Structure 1
Amino acid sequence: MQAKLRFSVYGELYVVDLNQTMYFKADDHYTHIYYTTGTHFMIPFGLSKVEDAIHEKQLFCKRFVRLGRTYIVNIGCIFHVNAMKQVLFVSDSRGVNHSIHLPKPVLRTLMGLLDEAVSQADK
């Protein structure tokens, strides 16, 4: 299965490699993409369009989780969730930590999903 998303508009093509993506962040009608390599760029498509494209890639739809209205995060990059401080930490391949501030209910739901994923992996 192809690990790349393709978005085209007005003679431009944007290619997003899901294997390198750490998280997506909404910015009005645009989406910022953060790679594990440190690369960051923006595409002129909303987060819902990105989410729909991810769901078409069945191998990747379970790897990426929508967190609220602003983020889609690669769960493989998450290393710490603190619901009390309302922060999620992800790490890139260079060892740089990125903090994402989210509401407590969103983080608690994420903790449940991560707990379930770890339980299934242990079986």
Structure 2
Amino acid sequence: MLSLIFNTRDEQTKVELTKVVYFEADGNYTRVTFLNGYKIAVSAGLSKIEHLLEEQLKEQAQQFIRIGRQYIVNRAFIFQINVLKQKLLLSNMESLPVFSLSVSKEALKNLKALQIKK
């Protein structure tokens, strides 16, 4: 199972990527949201996370997609794209919760086009 490991001076955090629903930018930190609803903050910006995903996953990195400046989402959990309401719903459709992200219309249009091509 693929994972990312984040080290700080005082702690180490292992993030199993199959359980990550999305990453969210928070200044110099990134909040990681897991399928069970649990959230953690890691001391790496979203660009660094994107780079780590590409480095670790190689061709499988396409499983995660950058949406605007704020999110990287796991494509496996994309449930609904609503451009008019500017909402992206993420779920595995087997268990709660369903995650709702506010995303710009332009970013959602681009995501929708990418999903159709896939």
- Deviation sequence 1:46-65 (CA, Å, 0-9, x none): 11111111001125311000
**Contact 2:79/2:90, CA 8 A, preserved across alignment:** yes
Aligned residue in 2 for 1:100: 101
Q: Which 4+ residue blocks in structure 1 deviate beyond 4 angstroms?
A: none
Measured in 1, the distance between the counterparts of 2:19 and 2:66 equals 17
Q: Is the 8 A contact 2:67 2:73 kept in 1?
A: yes
Structure 2: runs of 5 or more not aligned = none
| Contact 2:36–2:97 (CA under 8 A) maintained in structure 1 | no
Distance 1:95-1:59 versus aligned 2 partners, 3 A rule: farther
Deviation at 1:11, TM superposition (A): 4.4
- For normalisation by structure 2, the TM-score amounts to 0.91
Separation in 2 of the partners of 1:43 and 1:7?
7
Q: How many residues align?
A: 116
Q: In 2, Cα distance between the equivalents of 1:6 and 1:52?
A: 14
Match of 1:18 in 2: 17
Residue 81 of structure 2 is matched in structure 1 by 81
Q: Deviation string for 1:71-107 (max 9, x for gaps)?
A: 0000110110011111100015523211101111100
* RMSD of aligned residue pairs (Cα, Å): 1.4
Identity within the alignment, %: 33
Give structure 1 stretches of 5+ with no counterpart: 118-123
How many angstroms apart in 2 are the aligned matches of 1:94 and 1:42? Answer: 23
